[in-house]
């Protein structure tokens, strides 16, 4: 088991929060209703939400989707594929994943639109353990995380994927990951904004270089470092 990781994430300052209200909102029409800053909360205007974006609030999480329905999870038929520029393409069952060394960590989660959830307890498998089995080829430089929720996808460099607190999570806060949070597995990379944390991952394709993900095709930075990317910092 890995040690819990607590990366030094910069909390949202008043300036960043105001900057987001003043500057960020135009590019983020879908996110307007969900401002959470350290200064407090502006009440959501639910009628501004497009139908694709649902919001379930109690825990502080906002549930985001891009399709009309969420993928369902059948443990018997579900498979995770790891393919592309690897020496050994893998097809893993849910049981295979759970049988691998389990990593645990407590990390904060930040959406680029300004809300955060602190101290999320994650359990899952390190990407580096998966890659140790699949063996990326010498020319490999990126990973594409393909969601069962089409057309959601995002990518990391190989280097980013090897950061110590990056995982494919199957547990959240002591329970199996719930459907709305991406069951059975989602990517967790606490150093980066939520949009890199792909839900319902069903395929990891090793590529030469990172590809543009769903939100990157819509103008967001490919490197989504918390507090530094998308105009912060
Ligand atoms: N498949 C998929 N993954 C996704 C998204 C999405 O719409 N679809 N939204 C992303 C964004 S922008 C955020 S902030 C987080 C939100 O996680 P949650 O829905 O578990 O709260 O999921 C990320 N992963
Ligand atoms: Mo987000």
115 and 193, same domain (yes or no): yes
The pLDDT of residue 18 is: 37
With the most atoms of ligand 1 within 8 angstroms of its CB, the residue from 197, 201, 202, 203 to mutate is 197
Q: Is 155 in the pocket of ligand 1 (CB under 6 A)?
A: no
Tens place of pLDDT per residue across the chain (233 aa): 433 333 333 333 333 433 343 333 333 333 333 333 322 333 334 334 444 444 444 579 999 999 999 999 999 999 999 999 999 999 999 999 999 999 999 999 999 999 999 999 999 999 999 999 999 999 999 999 999 999 999 999 999 999 999 999 999 999 999 999 999 999 999 999 999 999 999 999 999 999 999 999 999 999 999 999 998 87
30 and 97, same domain (yes or no): no
Report the DSSP beta bridge partners of residue 125: 168
The pLDDT of residue 232 is: 82
**Strand spans (E) along the chain:** 36-37, 40-41, 80-84, 90-92, 103-110, 116-126, 142-147, 153-157, 167-172, 175-176, 186-188, 201-207
In a domain, 229, yes or no: no
CA distance from start to end of the chain: 34
The pLDDT of residue 58 is: 57
Structural domain range at position 198: 79-218
The secondary structure of residue 32, as a DSSP letter, is T
The pLDDT of residue 52 is: 45
136 and 213, same domain (yes or no): yes
In a domain, 38, yes or no: yes
In a domain, 228, yes or no: no
Domain count, the chain: 2
In a domain, 18, yes or no: yes
In a domain, 2, yes or no: no
Helix (H, G, I), strand (E, B) or coil at 108: strand
101 and 174, same domain (yes or no): yes
147 and 197, same domain (yes or no): yes
190 and 94, same domain (yes or no): yes
58 and 109, same domain (yes or no): no
84 and 199, same domain (yes or no): yes
55 and 110, same domain (yes or no): no
57 and 100, same domain (yes or no): no
The pLDDT of residue 59 is: 76
In a domain, 5, yes or no: no
Residue 180 Cα to ligand 1 midpoint, Å, equals 9
228 CA to centre of own chain = 17
86 and 143, same domain (yes or no): yes
92 and 192, same domain (yes or no): yes
Q: Which atom number of ligand 1 is nearest to the Cα of residue 147? A: 1
Contact indicator for 153, 198 with CB cutoff of 8 Å: yes
- Closest Cα to atom 18 of ligand 1: 63
The pLDDT of residue 233 is: 75
């Amino acid at each position: 088991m890995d040690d819990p990781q607590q990366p030094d994430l910069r909390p949202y300052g008043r300036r960043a929060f105001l900057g987001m209200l003043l500057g960020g909102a135009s590019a983020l029409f879908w996110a307007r209703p969900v401002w959470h800053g350290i200064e407090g909360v502006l009440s959501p205007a639910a009628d501004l939400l497009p139908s694709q974006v649902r919001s379930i609030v109690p825990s502080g999480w906002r549930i985001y989707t891009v399709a009309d329905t969420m993928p369902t999870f059948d443990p018997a038929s579900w498979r995770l594929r790891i393919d592309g520029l690897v020496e050994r393409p893998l097809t893993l069952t849910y049981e295979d994943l759970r049988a691998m060394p389990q990593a645990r960590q407590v990390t904060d989660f930040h959406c680029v639109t300004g809300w955060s959830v602190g101290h999320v307890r994650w359990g899952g498998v390190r990407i580096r353990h998966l890659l140790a089995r699949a063996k990326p080829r010498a020319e490999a430089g990126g990973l594409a995380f393909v969601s069962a929720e089409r057309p959601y996808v995002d990518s990391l460099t190989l280097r980013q994927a090897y950061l110590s607190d990056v995982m494919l999570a199957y547990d959240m806060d002591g329970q199996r990951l719930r459907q709305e949070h991406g069951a059975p597995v989602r990517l967790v990379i606490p150093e980066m904004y939520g949009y890199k944390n792909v839900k319902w991952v069903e395929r990891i394709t090793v590529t030469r270089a990172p590809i543009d993900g769903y939100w990157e095709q819509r103008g967001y930075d490919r490197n989504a470092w918390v507090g530094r990317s998308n105009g912060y910092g």
